[in-house]
Amino acid sequence: MNVIEVSGLIKRYKELVALDNFNLSIQAGEIFGLLGPNGSGKTTAINCILQLLTYDKGELRVLDQEISPTSYDIKRRIGIVPQNIAVFPQLNVTENIDYFCSLYISDKAKRRDLVEEAIHLVGLEDFRRFRPRKLSGGLIRRLNIACGIAHKPELIFFDEPTVAVDPQSRNAILEGIRRLNEQGSTVVYTSHYMEEVEQLCTRIMIMDHGQALATGTNMELKKLVGINERIEIELLEGLDAAPDPSQVATLTPPSPAFEHALELVRELPHTVTAKLDGNTLRVSCARSRSALNEILEVLNHSSITYGRVYSEPPTLNDVFLEITGKELRD
Ligand code: ADP
Ligand code: MG
């Protein structure tokens, strides 16, 4: 089933075009990631899809039906975890979740079970009677999530649910989202943290300036980039330097030998970029099996020895960099 189908969506805030002919198609069962820097239009897209914002142009279908601001039957099947925390300060954890759940479910006994399930899902068992102001930032985020998902919606939007949370809460949140998806919910997840999106999402859209720049699985997106590999090599010493490793650390780069080798590495056929960070040589390479060998040969010829060698596949940041010419900071 087509859970979300957006075509030609345009949203202006006065002069500013926040969504610029935006298209999006999401199938049932996906964890779909909207990845883009702050201000790229992620929240605006969600709010338009949910008819919480008016828009200038475009066609929207949600859960296989046209949606309007009064489509309560469709909205009942949707959950939203907003970017800005929306909980009541005077209600405790259980009461908050129960309140939001009561907007959809009137049967009290059924609700009690659902609230319990939501508490377990986000790991708030020890905080049932806590009011929000007694909770840490990460725990409030978890409460915000529990409030949005307790009624077991078919489609759930998570708008930057992990901003400024501690690693433990972040893991609990990502794990909870995976479980909701396994239980049958389709998930739309926005973030500017590329690593999260990479780990969590079945498909990813990279957006910027209100436009979809590229969409695909993590692997498909990475195939778009010319950079195939990042190589990091710890350079240890020049020709005459002492072999004692305890002295290696006290060498003060940039040594002329390193600088010279850097120039040679830059001229290699597969090098895209190369730089020296202290005594670490960082090289981005185009697709090739011989790239690493060629670099090591240059170092050998220059009589530079090396310690650790790391090689990493490209990141979504490389994809973003290649498409937009700028970094997507994580
Ligand atoms: P994101 O969620 O990706 O950070 P937003 O959808 O919040 O991006 O914002 C997209 C663009 O629209 C930004 O340039 C932002 O400044 C602008 N914008 C968002 N909300 C408003 C508003 N209520 N009035 C005017 N401009 C807005
Ligand atoms: Mg936002």
Which residues in the chain land under pLDDT 70? Answer: 237-254, 329-330
Q: Do 103 and 162 fall within a single domain?
A: yes
| Residue that terminates a domain, selected from 165, 197, 224 | 224
Domain count, the chain: 2
Q: How far is the CA of 36 from the centre of ligand 1 (A)?
A: 12
Q: Do 63 and 193 fall within a single domain?
A: yes
In a domain, 318, yes or no: no
CATH number, position 255: 3.30.70.100
Residue 286 amino acid letter: A
In a domain, 214, yes or no: yes
Sequence-distant contacts of 221-226: CB under 8 A, at least 24 apart: 221/316, 221/319, 222/313, 222/314, 222/316, 222/318, 222/319, 224/319, 224/322, 224/323, 225/314, 225/318, 225/319, 225/322, 226/272, 226/286, 226/287, 226/322
* pTM more than 0.85: no
In a domain, 319, yes or no: no
| Residue that terminates a domain, selected from 178, 207, 224 | 224
CB-based contact 124:142 (threshold 8 Å) = yes
Q: The tokens 């009942």 sit on which residue?
A: 76
pLDDT at 266: 96
Dihedral over Cα of 214, 218, 220, 225: its sign? positive
Domain residue limits at 127: 2-224
In a domain, 326, yes or no: no
CA dist 50 and 71 (Å) reads 10
Q: Do 178 and 266 fall within a single domain?
A: no
In a domain, 263, yes or no: yes
Q: Do 78 and 119 fall within a single domain?
A: yes
Q: Do 215 and 233 fall within a single domain?
A: no
CA dist 166 and 157 (Å) reads 21
Q: Do 71 and 209 fall within a single domain?
A: yes
Q: Do 209 and 276 fall within a single domain?
A: no
pLDDT at 327: 79
- CA-nearest residue for atom 16, ligand 1, is 39
pLDDT at 106: 95
Q: Do 179 and 78 fall within a single domain?
A: yes
CA dist 59 and 68 (Å) reads 11
Ligand 1 proximity of 52 Cβ (cutoff 6 Å): no
pLDDT at 60: 96
CB-based contact 42:24 (threshold 8 Å) = no
Ligand 1 proximity of 40 Cβ (cutoff 6 Å): yes
Ligand 1 proximity of 43 Cβ (cutoff 6 Å): yes
In a domain, 204, yes or no: yes
pLDDT at 254: 66
Q: How far is the CA of 53 from the centre of ligand 2 (A)?
A: 14
| Residue that terminates a domain, selected from 224, 247, 263 | 224
Q: How far is the CA of 35 from the centre of ligand 2 (A)?
A: 10
Q: Do 180 and 94 fall within a single domain?
A: yes
CATH number, position 95: 3.40.50.300
CA dist 16 and 263 (Å) reads 44
CA dist 59 and 208 (Å) reads 20
Q: Do 169 and 268 fall within a single domain?
A: no
Q: Do 268 and 286 fall within a single domain?
A: yes
CB-based contact 163:43 (threshold 8 Å) = no
- Residue 65 tokens, joined: 């039906």
In a domain, 14, yes or no: yes
- Residue 92 tokens, joined: 């405790």
In a domain, 330, yes or no: no
- CA-nearest residue for atom 26, ligand 1, is 13
Index of the ligand 1 atom closest to the CA of residue 19: 10
Q: Do 169 and 30 fall within a single domain?
A: yes
- CA-nearest residue for atom 21, ligand 1, is 13
CA dist 97 and 124 (Å) reads 11
Ligand 1 proximity of 191 Cβ (cutoff 6 Å): no
Output the DSSP codes for 77-111: TEEEE-SS----TTS-HHHHHHHHHHTT---HHHH
CA dist 41 and 105 (Å) reads 32
